[in-house]
Chains A and B, each alone.
Chain A
Amino acid sequence: MSEMRRITYREAVREALREALSRDERVFLMGEDVGAYGGAYACSLGLLEEFGPERIRNTPLAESGFVGAGIGAAMNGMRPIVEIMTINFSLLALDQIVNNAATIRHMSGGQFSVPLVIRMATGAGRQLAAQHSHSFECWFAHIPGIRVVAPALVADARGMLPAALADPDPVVIMEHATLYNVEGEVPADGELAVDLDRAAIRREGTDATIVTYSANVMKALAAAEALAGEAIDCEVIDLRSLRPIDDATILASVRKTHRAVVVDEGWRSVGIAAEISARIQEQAFFDLDAPVERVCSVEVPIPYPSHLEQAAIPQPETIAAAVRRTLRR
């Protein structure tokens, strides 16, 4: 193993951007306030000075326009990285993402690819209320023709961008807004690009499997630590990729533990947790010793006051309670 170094999630994203821009002349970053402001979450701070306004391209507030421009540029020889300030604003660009980026390869009979990377911040936890805090990951994960990944660890924040740029098709990277200040380890040298296809086991265990992604990986690990004190040994799976979903890793774990809890910051109804739960029950029904549990956001627009916001989203305590239910404890 090479040596590791500690950086923040934000630094990891910035470092990945800088590396991509340095390695490939076709790469450029485009989005609202990515230039002098440095990005709403400061991911591109300093890059304007380094790479200039052609490649660190500030856009007007026109999500559909600049995402569509990213698609056109990608179809015509460039490797654009489009930053959408938050997933909530991505709804204004859904037409371009769903009707163009995801379909053009198929509609053209394979003649045109769209090698576009879209990054967006997602999630609750910063008291930003109901138009800046939602988790619409499942909407994107529903669409054939795009890949959706969600880095939870700093190493993935660093390594998923180069991997996404190497993909010839559209990739959406969901960065949880509460993670940007979190520190973690990345390899000190060597190739940092990671495999986008596979889920990862973040904690091994034998009694129950917690399946989650993004910021909830940390909450699941906290729940697992608490449960260890009760002699309950949890396995924690970080999905990493929301489309495609790595069934094999989930099923292998559930066949070992016989219990599953799916944690998702999206709402419970018709979401990613519902999808994972269905897959487990379709493919590992007779391995289960308890119904699959879901821990999701409460069916309410995310409220502003901290106590209500925290009550609306999954917490280590609610995750631990769900694990206990699968064990009838």
Chain B
Amino acid sequence: MSTAQERVHLSHEHALRLLREMLRIRRFEEKAAELYSAGKIRGFLHLYIGEEANAVGVMQALTEEDAVVATYREHGHALARGLPMGEVMAEMFGKVNGSSRGRGGSMHIFSAPRRFYGGNAIVGGGLPLAVGLALADRMLGRSCVTACFFGEGAAAEGEFHEAMNLAALWRLPVLFVCENNFYAMGTALAESESNLDIAAHAGVYGVPAEVVDGMDVVAVEAAARRAAHAVRQGEGPRFLEARTYRFRAHSMFDPDLYRDKAEVEAWKERGPILKFHDWALGSGLIHESGVEALEKEIAREVEAAVAFAEGGAWEPVEDLTRYVSTGDEAAA
């Protein structure tokens, strides 16, 4: 249970691990954007670029037995949770070797072996699910944590409030992680919330909440470890609000007309990879040669993931109606 301990131990290896995980997401998504333009990936593609510290930081506090519920902006969570990069890329291609056999695409990545419960594209829709996962864990006597990620836009949904109340009322082991990037698609927080303090929304249900700098991976990890530890101790749900920013548009269809360019640039200067890289180099935790080696290793992994996706088969149209009901898995 070493990864579930309460404090961050920032060794050379751990610092490299944090940087590697954030860079894997960044390089994977840069390639995904390129492949989107090339027509290899279609539909909605919501990039996580700029927000990597949140998924990577929180995952450090989870064990293999824990569960994860994510949103439609979940490539980063899937990769940080340990889904093979090739399977995630193949899913976005819509190939049968994708993590959901291509049936879900970018917004619906699932993995039973990694207890990764999607990829939910209804804002707020994953929160009640997380409550149920945690309820089952508790009724079955397991000491697992369910980490539930969502954006600040979800705080305006009824399901957010219903789930928060249920989790608090039943003292369930849920770690709610609100990734507050200040825009629900194109709507600024101030236009959608009467109370801009999202953490306070959890507070009214008696769920202890903490605000953390979502651009600082070590701060996120530390806060997540504290919160996960409390949840694991049976203290009921915890809530983290990670203040963060997406550097790219909402999706590939979004011309990004609603944000001030200067605002975007200011956040980029606080980018989670840039900031951690510079800090870790400056403090001697990592070395430039190590970073170069990392970049090469990740470039190879991304290349292999693309090759895996390219090499995947298309599901035959004859199999269209499979996976609707149990028992229809066998080919028609």
Binding site for B on A (CB under 8 A): 28, 54, 59-60, 62, 64-78, 80, 95-96, 99-100, 104-113, 144-145, 147, 167-169
Contacts and interface: CB of A to CB of B under 8 A. Distances in A.
Given A60-B165, A68-B129, A69-B129, 18 more contacts: A62-B162, A62-B165, A65-B131, A68-B163, A69-B132, A69-B163, A72-B132, A72-B135, A73-B132, A73-B133, A73-B135, A74-B136, A76-B132, A100-B129, A106-B324, A107-B103, A147-B325, A167-B326
Interface of B: 67, 98-104, 108, 110-112, 117-120, 122, 125, 127-137, 139-140, 158-159, 162-163, 165-166, 169, 322-327, 329
23 contacts: A28-B139, A64-B162, A65-B159, A66-B166, A68-B125, A69-B131, A69-B166, A72-B117, A72-B131, A73-B135, A73-B139, A76-B132, A78-B135, A80-B132, A95-B159, A104-B118, A105-B323, A106-B324, A108-B103, A108-B112, A144-B324, A145-B324, A168-B327
Given A72-B130, A77-B136, A65 B118 contact: no
Given A60-B169, A64-B159, A72 B103 contact: no
A73 B127 CA distance: 13
A107 B132 contact: no
Contacts of B324: 105-106, 144-145
Nearest to B140: A77
Interface of B is mostly: mixed
B100 A107 contact: yes
A318 to B, nearest CB: 36
B132 A111 contact: no
Contacts of B325: 105, 145, 147, 169
B122 A95 contact: yes
Contacts of B67: 76
Contacts of A64: 128, 158-159, 162
A46 B150 CA distance: 40
Contacts of A60: 162, 165-166, 169
B162 A65 contact: yes
A297 to B, nearest CB: 30
B8 to A, nearest CB: 29
B124 to A, nearest CB: 8
A47 to B, nearest CB: 17
Given A62-B166, A64-B128, A65-B162, A76 B133 contact: yes
B125 A106 contact: no
